[in-house]
Structures are given as C-alpha cells and as structure tokens.
Structure 1
Amino acid sequence: MSADPGRIDLSATPAPAGGGCADGCCAAEAAELPPSRRAVLTRRVRLLVAATITYNLVEAVVAITAGAVASSAALIGFGLDSVIEVASAAAVAWQFSGADPRARERAALKVIAVSFFALAAYVAVESVRSLVGGGGAEHSTAGIVLAAVSLVVMPFLSTAQRRAGRELGSASAVADSRQTLLCTYLSGVLLVGLVLNSLFGWSWADPAVALVIAAVAVKEGRDAWRGEHCC
C-alpha cells in the first residue's frame, strides 16, 4: 500500500484471472500523480458520482412508471438498470468517502457485480414471461423521450468518470463508468425497440430488447466481480 493514503496503488494487487490490470496501465498512471492532482481527481469522481445518482433516480422513476403504464418489460428493465446504477455509484461514493479508497476497492467492485447480476435475473424472467404468454407492450412516448435523452447524457458522465478513474488507478470508478456506458448502449437498444413497437406493432421487440439488456448485464457483472475493469 502506498504511504500516501490518497494514492490508489494497484501494482501491489495480484492481477485477476482473465486479464484485468495485468499490463499495469492503471498503476503506472496513478504512480506519477502528485497529491494535488489526486485530490482534484478524487473530488471530480465524487461530483460525477453525485450527478450520476441524481440523474438515474429521475430516470428510474420515469422509466418504471412509463413501463408499468405501457406493460413494457424493456422499459421496466431499463428503469431497474437505473436503480442498479444508483447502487453502483453509491458504492463508489462510499469508497471515496474514506481516507484510504483502495482499502474499499474490492468491496465496491463486489457490490457493483452483484447489482449487475440482480438486474440480469429480473429482466430475463420478465422477458421470457412476456414472450411466452404475457400481454404485448403498448406505445410509450415518455419511454421514447427518456431513451433519447439518456443517449445524450450518459456518454458524457461515463467518459468523464472513466478518465478520472483510470488516472487515479481505481478499478471501481472505471467499473462504475462502464455501468454508465452500459446505460448508454441500453438507451440506444431500448429506443430502437420502442420505436419498432410503436411504428409496426412488433410487441416481441420489447422483451427481445430486454433480453439483450440481461445478457450484457451478466457480462458486465462477471467483469466487475473479477476486477477486469481497470484498463
């Protein structure tokens, strides 16, 4: 562990199975940071996490409400992803609230991973139920607008946090940025599914999109559990 409690030195942490930080990129970048720069980046991560939590709380309420009204498994799944993103960002906020963020790194990553798995399980069950006999999803203007707005907002939050997390050498901050990036992808996929359903009445497109959400969430959860988000 670094003598400076603000430094997150991953060079002392064994590389996870399957890759991760084996090339030492995050540790190499973090090792060169002066204390003043680390302090700036830490504050930046905290601000970005706070912005992510705020936006996702609003997103969750709108998506779940609109999904319930339209009987849309994809919209409800998207709203639950927002809830998961809040949990993920809260774990990073907790980590960086301590004097030694590195000491809480692995715990934060586990929380993020479990959040991904919980999302995948719920969305998969609801999607299969809709495909094999549930009612078709209805048109949702609110869902389309929400997906379009998220497609604009999420890339900015993800990119900014990923850059700060990599420079700090924080795998959890980078993993959380990947959670936000996933929300960007899901926004695009959700938008396509909702538009197809609205224009052509393809109700199967909604649960099919939700299954894509579940599959991606499983992959991201596995990566977070293994600590493979560092670089």
Structure 2
Amino acid sequence: MASISLGPGPARRDALARRVRLLVAATIAYDVVEAIVALTAGAMASSTALIGFGLDSVIEVSSAAAVAWQFSATDHAVREAREKTTLRIIAVSFFALAAYVTVDAVRALTGTGDAGHSVPGIVPAALSPAVMPFLSAAQRRAGRALGSASAVADSKQTLLCTYLSAVLLAGLLLNLLLGWSWADPIAALVIAAIAAKEGRDAWRGDSCCAPAPSSRPDCDCCA
C-alpha cells in the first residue's frame, strides 16, 4: 500500500515561510529599482516595450507584496486561508499588464508613435537575467515544499521578468543598431502574451499545490 505524504511538519513549514518572506523582500527591493529605471528610460524614449517592462516590475512588486501579506501570518491555517485571495491578486496583476501593453503596442504599430533609442534601458534588460532566475528558483522550491500555489505563482511572475528581459533586450538592440522601431512594439506584444498566459495559470492555481503535489498527477501548477 502506497504511503501518503502529509507534507512538512510545523517547524519545517515555519522555516520555509521565513525563507519565502526573505525572498519576497529581496524581489520587492530589486523590482522597485528596476521599475524606476525602466519607466524613466521608457518615458524618455517613448518605448512601449520598456514601459511595459517597467510596469511589469511594478506588478511584480504588487504580486510579491500580496505573498508577503499572506506569509506575514504566523499561523499556517491563516496563511492557507489567504491563499486564494493572493492568487487572485497575482492573476489580475498579470491581466492588467497584458491589457495595457497590448493597447499601447497596437497604438505604436499603427503609426501614432515611434520608439526612440534607449541605451539606459538596456541596463535593466541585461541585468535581470543574471538576478531573477535565482530568486525565482529559490522561491519556487520553497513554495512547492509548502504546497503553496501563491508562492509558486509569484515565483513564476519573477521568472517572467527573465523572459521579458530577453525579449526587451532584443527589441531595444534591434531598434538601436538597425533602426527597426517596429521591433519595440512587437516585443511588447510578446510580453503581453506571456503575461496573459501566466495570469490564466495563476487564476487556475487556487486548488493546486496541495502539500503533497506528487499525489495530484493532474495538477501542473507546481511542475
């Protein structure tokens, strides 16, 4: 007869919760700086993709803040009770980003605005892939160990920053080196599509990630 995992014990849960809080705090600190740089550079260059990237950083802050609120509770039952609300906040944040970036990218593609060059904007786009994957992986491991769908969803939000950085960097460099201003809104549309997908996954994640994810072969939110 197969044994049933009951998940981590109380002491282990508390240690994992503290780890999540520390990782969330580090994510918030990094994203605040990233948002300021990206939004300032994006406004100066009229770059839809760069502004979208900066807004994603703002949304990452709101997502991480929601997880911080959830894990500020010392009682495990209270944290679990806050899980669904936290997931909804994360999902809505993704959807809001996707909607804004899509509208602004379409505006740029229809000729109502061209993106200028932004050398300063390349800095956060190049730096994030070196930082965010480590924060995401650490939080994801802790979230999976806790069986917390919200912590896993927020780690995906953090990892999304890496993908967005690569897309953004490609768009900025194509515009800077080849003068392809259309590359910027195209990159922004890719950002919007990824954000919409992650929002859908977060919205569906409220019933996933039980303390023993391996016992839920139909659940892929913690994969």
The Cα of 1:134 is off from its aligned counterpart by 2.4
Give 1:9's aligned residue.
none
Give 1:230's aligned residue.
222
Give 1:181's aligned residue.
159
Q: Are the aligned partners of 2:92 and 2:199 in contact in 1 as well (CA < 8 Å)?
A: yes
Q: Measure the CA separation in 2 of the matches of 1:163 and 1:107.
A: 21
Runs of 4+ in 1 over 6 A off after TM superposition: none
1:33 aligns with 2:8: yes
The Cα of 1:34 is off from its aligned counterpart by 2.4
Give 2:18's aligned residue.
43
Give 1:192's aligned residue.
170
What aligned pairs does 1:48-67 form with structure 2 within 5 A after superposition?
Answer: 48-67=23-42
Structure 1 counterpart of 2:101, which letter? Answer: V
Which ranges in structure 1 are unaligned for 5 or more consecutive residues? 1-26
The Cα of 1:182 is off from its aligned counterpart by 0.6
The Cα of 1:164 is off from its aligned counterpart by 0.5
The Cα of 1:145 is off from its aligned counterpart by 1.1
- State the TM-score, normalizing by the size of structure 1: 0.85
The Cα of 1:86 is off from its aligned counterpart by 0.5
Deviates more, 1:136-145 or 1:79-88: 136-145
Structure 2 counterpart of 1:57, which letter? Answer: V
Give 2:68's aligned residue.
93
Give 1:205's aligned residue.
183
What aligned pairs does 1:67-82 form with structure 2 within 5 A after superposition?
Answer: 67-82=42-57
Q: Are the aligned partners of 2:7 and 2:146 in contact in 1 as well (CA < 8 Å)?
A: no
Q: Are the aligned partners of 2:7 and 2:145 in contact in 1 as well (CA < 8 Å)?
A: no
1:135 aligns with 2:110: no
Structure 1 counterpart of 2:191, which letter? Answer: I
Aligned length: 203
Q: Measure the CA separation in 1 of the matches of 2:27 and 2:134.
A: 10
Q: Measure the CA separation in 1 of the matches of 2:72 and 2:122.
A: 36
Q: Secondary structure at the match of 1:133?
A: helix
Structure 2 counterpart of 1:40, which letter? Answer: A
Q: Measure the CA separation in 2 of the matches of 1:79 and 1:145.
A: 12
Q: Percent identity?
A: 72
Structure 2 counterpart of 1:72, which letter? Answer: S
Structure 1 counterpart of 2:222, which letter? Answer: C
Q: Measure the CA separation in 2 of the matches of 1:167 and 1:45.
A: 11
The Cα of 1:192 is off from its aligned counterpart by 0.7
- State the TM-score, normalizing by the size of structure 2: 0.88
Q: Measure the CA separation in 1 of the matches of 2:122 and 2:191.
A: 16
